[in-house]
């Protein structure tokens, strides 16, 4: 099943583990691409992005407020995942390189682990380097389980330890504008990278 914001735009795609049910007000906004008074198409405003205060792969504290002023991409992964996570991170690493010199200055990508007991800063550093995602503009974050759970829930995602090991989680990637407002979300790994790049650039131009 593929959920579209409107026929020409494909932001919520299949391929996730589970189903995301947005609160009614957010879902209503997500189904409309709004035009500003100047006639230029704008992505909808879903609401404020949730606050987080987590530890980066370099051991520094990173908060949502620290990244204010940049267009953010926020997603959830874990390093022992051998299926969709590597596909997602590789795809996002390629997208980051496609953003050129503005990646790290106007744009930043945030990957929050859903397995904080395993994913230490050192482990995240190694993981990021394996994808070439250890450059300025990338933030691989970990933290206390409650802080991770708050971030997962805050972004409308889902994560639960699997009985067979690893973590079952929803592959939900959110774009956050420079003012800290969540604007659109992509579900799964089969999203169109060029469309995501256009959305990032649209938010940076506002």
Residue 70: pLDDT above 60?
yes
pLDDT at position 36, please? Answer: 47
pLDDT at position 169, please? Answer: 81
For the chain, the structural domain boundaries read 24-205
* CATH 3.50.50.60 assigned to 24-205: no
Band (39; pLDDT cuts 50, 70, 90):
low
* 168 compared with 68, residue with greater pLDDT: 68
Q: In three state form, how does the secondary structure of the chain look?
A: CCECCECCECCECCCCCCCCCCCHHHHHHHCCCEECCCCCEECCCCEECCCCEEEECCCCEEECHHHCCCEEEEEEECCCCCCHHHHHHHHHHHHHHHCHHHECCCEEEEEEECCCCCCCHHHHHHHHHHCCCCCCCEEEEECCHHHHHHHHHHCCCCEEECCCCCEEECCEEEEECCCCEEEEEEECCCCCHHHHHHHHHHHHHC
């Amino acid at each position: 099943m593929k959920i579209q914001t409107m026929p020409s735009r494909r932001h919520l795609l299949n391929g996730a583990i589970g189903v995301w049910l947005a609160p009614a007000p957010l879902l209503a906004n997500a189904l409309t691409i709004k035009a500003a008074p100047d006639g230029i198409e704008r992505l909808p405003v879903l609401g404020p992005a949730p606050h987080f205060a987590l530890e980066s792969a370099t051991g520094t504290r990173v908060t949502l407020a620290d990244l204010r002023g940049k267009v953010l991409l926020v997603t959830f992964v874990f390093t022992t995942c051998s299926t969709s996570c590597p596909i997602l991170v590789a795809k996002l690493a390629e997208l980051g390189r496609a953003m050129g010199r503005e990646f790290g200055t106007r744009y930043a990508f945030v990957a929050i682990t859903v397995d904080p007991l395993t994913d230490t800063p050192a482990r995240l550093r190694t993981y990021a380097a394996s994808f070439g995602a250890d450059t300025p503009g990338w933030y691989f974050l970990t933290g206390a389980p409650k802080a991770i759970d708050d971030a997962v829930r805050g972004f409308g995602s889902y994560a639960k330890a699997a009985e067979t090991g690893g973590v079952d989680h929803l592959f939900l990637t959110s774009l956050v504008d420079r003012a800290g407002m969540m604007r659109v979300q992509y579900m799964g790994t089969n999203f169109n990278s060029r469309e995501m790049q256009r959305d990032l650039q649209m938010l940076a131009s506002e």
